[in-house]
Structure 1
Amino acid sequence: MILTITLDKQRFDFDTSLVKDLSIPLEFNGSQPRVYGVNRAGSHTYEGDGFIGDTRKGGACNFEKLTLVPHCNGTHTECIGHITHKRFSVQEQLKDSLIPCTLISILPENAMNSSEDYDPPKEKGDAFVSRSALEKALKPVSKLFLKALIIRTLPNDHTKLSRNYSEQKPPFLSLDAMNFITELGVEHILVDLPSIDRAYDQGKLNTHRLFWNVKPGSHETTAHSLLNKTITEMIYAADEIVDGSYLLNLQIAPFVSDAAPSRPLLYPLIKA
């Protein structure tokens, strides 16, 4: 099916059959990415009152109990409720369905060799996505396609599909990089990292707070907090998906929770 959309008086076509999936399939009890040392996501046969939810064990149908931590067991989208006392749910805060977006590839740099900042202070072995790298990659990009920003880090390989991030120090975003992203007016950010903040940052989550405009150390929103912005982490953008402009359909499970498993879908655009 070929559809046409109009963005700022410009018409674009997109073919719904050419969709690109950025989510990591969550294989319960199988190969899967995880972070912070949490248990693997799992599935277990439900049994009770003589019922067995497994056809292989004589049950009439398959009936499983699933366990997971959305923030740690694969591709997920989170809202401001991730850092606030007030409980906001991502299915209520995500208002957009088809979102103009840009995919870029960035090589994280040695944080200690950069003049850019982070809080808590940078440590040996830290690598981050810098403002300078973002400025270079986004220089030719129209603001029309910056409602959402997808960052693919390099090198990019299939180990991201099953990586245990507790065994290494994954890259994150510098504070300068996040300030630049907010200056651009980006409302949805997607990364192939377990967090936009350093994995162990004393619980400060300062790039999260910058993105949602929540004061450092605070768990309260203000009239200036940006409630409808989302962060999607642990995506995987295969090399075959080229850098450029797309239409994003950010699908999420309708969990009443600050985060939910998600399936970001990309549609390549052609100017009509």
Structure 2
Amino acid sequence: MLAVIDNKYQVDLSKPIDISISLTNTDENPIAWYIEKPVIEPVIFGDWIGKVSEGKSSTNFNNIFFNPHGHGTHTECVGHITRDFYSINQSLKQFFFLAELVSIEPEIRGEDLVITKSQIEKALSTSTSLSVTSEAIIIRTLPNLESKKHLKYSNTNPPYLDETAARFIRESGIQHLLIDLPSVDKEYDAGRLLAHKAFWNVTNVNDLNADARLDCTITEMVFVASEVKDGSYLLNLQIASFENDASPSKPVLYKIL
């Protein structure tokens, strides 16, 4: 089924490219931020167990305990770093965006691996095939190993986005930033969160400035298969309706024809 965007671009809605990581209660689940794996288990009332295979229930009736930031693909709003409460469910009101997928090998900087402004700038200048400014960017880091879907990131100092790169993305008019890392910021950064603040244009988390970008989002821990080529896509950014700073999410790409 074909859809037309802005009376100019076509996408085939029958060929979605899911770039989310599924959430499981197994050791295959990726984990960040020093927590344990998710828990998915049936509700128990006395001798009644909410699991059909146990023979005492006509339905499967599970509780799920997870953390959106640490257990897989998630989308967060400015409320992730502010004193006052902001909800992803209230911040994200549109769900389709023109997006650019770029692949970048982070640069070595001392003991860190860093995605720089010049890398983002170069990638965007060579990737885009659209005549309009993209609303979203998806950053795929290299090497692009399948193990990203199962990594235990805690205490590993993963690559991160330089503050100037995040500012450049903001100044380019991009509203939605997606990346295949557990955070756009360095794992241990003394709470500075420079890339988060630069992207959302936040100068004071205790008294939010008027020009902070309340309708912009960051999505972390995506996975884009290597066979998906860099270039322009239609992004469908799907979230669950949580009144929370972040929600598990399912970003889906459609190749622009």
Gaps of 5+ in 1: 113-124
Deviations 1:205-262 (A, max 9, x none): 111011111115x333121111000000000000111100000000001111000000
* TM-fit CA distance, 1:146: 2.1
Query: Aligned residue for 1:136?
Result: 122
Q: Letter of the aligned partner of 2:45 in structure 1?
A: G
Return the alpha-carbon distance in structure 2 between the equivalents of residues 145 and 25 of structure 1: 30
Q: What secondary structure sits across from 1:18 in the alignment?
A: coil
* Equivalent of 1:247 in 234, 247, 251: 234
Asked if residue 40 in structure 1 is aligned to residue 28 in structure 2, the reply is no
Asked whether the equivalents of residues 214 and 220 of structure 1 are also in contact (C-alpha less than 8 Å), the reply is: no
* Equivalent of 1:25 in 11, 22, 38: 22
Return the alpha-carbon distance in structure 1 between the equivalents of residues 149 and 218 of structure 2: 19
Equivalences for residues 183-198 of structure 1 within 5 A: 183-198=171-186
Task: Count how many residue pairs are aligned between Structure 1 and Structure 2.
Answer: 254
Asked whether the equivalents of residues 103 and 152 of structure 1 are also in contact (C-alpha less than 8 Å), the reply is: yes
Q: Between the two proteins, what is the percent identity of the paired residues?
A: 41
Query: Aligned residue for 1:14?
Result: 11
* TM-fit CA distance, 1:143: 6.7
Return the alpha-carbon distance in structure 1 between the equivalents of residues 221 and 89 of structure 2: 19
Query: Aligned residue for 1:58?
Result: 55
Query: Aligned residue for 1:233?
Result: 220
* TM-fit CA distance, 1:16: 0.5
Q: What secondary structure sits across from 1:209 in the alignment?
A: helix
Equivalences for residues 158-197 of structure 1 within 5 A: 158-197=146-185
Return the alpha-carbon distance in structure 2 between the equivalents of residues 100 and 190 of structure 1: 13
Return the alpha-carbon distance in structure 2 between the equivalents of residues 161 and 45 of structure 1: 25
Asked whether the equivalents of residues 133 and 173 of structure 2 are also in contact (C-alpha less than 8 Å), the reply is: no
Q: Letter of the aligned partner of 1:21 in structure 2?
A: D
Return the alpha-carbon distance in structure 1 between the equivalents of residues 3 and 34 of structure 2: 44
Equivalences for residues 196-211 of structure 1 within 5 A: 196-211=184-199
Distance change in 2, residues 1:220/1:137 (3 Å): same
Asked if residue 99 in structure 1 is aligned to residue 97 in structure 2, the reply is yes
Return the alpha-carbon distance in structure 1 between the equivalents of residues 122 and 67 of structure 2: 36
* TM-fit CA distance, 1:49: 4.4
* TM-fit CA distance, 1:51: 2.5
TM (norm. structure 2) is 0.95
Asked whether the equivalents of residues 106 and 115 of structure 2 are also in contact (C-alpha less than 8 Å), the reply is: yes
Distance change in 2, residues 1:264/1:145 (3 Å): farther
Distance change in 2, residues 1:21/1:145 (3 Å): farther
Query: Aligned residue for 2:85?
Result: 87
Query: Aligned residue for 1:213?
Result: 201
Return the alpha-carbon distance in structure 2 between the equivalents of residues 241 and 72 of structure 1: 25
Q: What secondary structure sits across from 1:144 in the alignment?
A: coil
* TM-fit CA distance, 1:160: 0.3
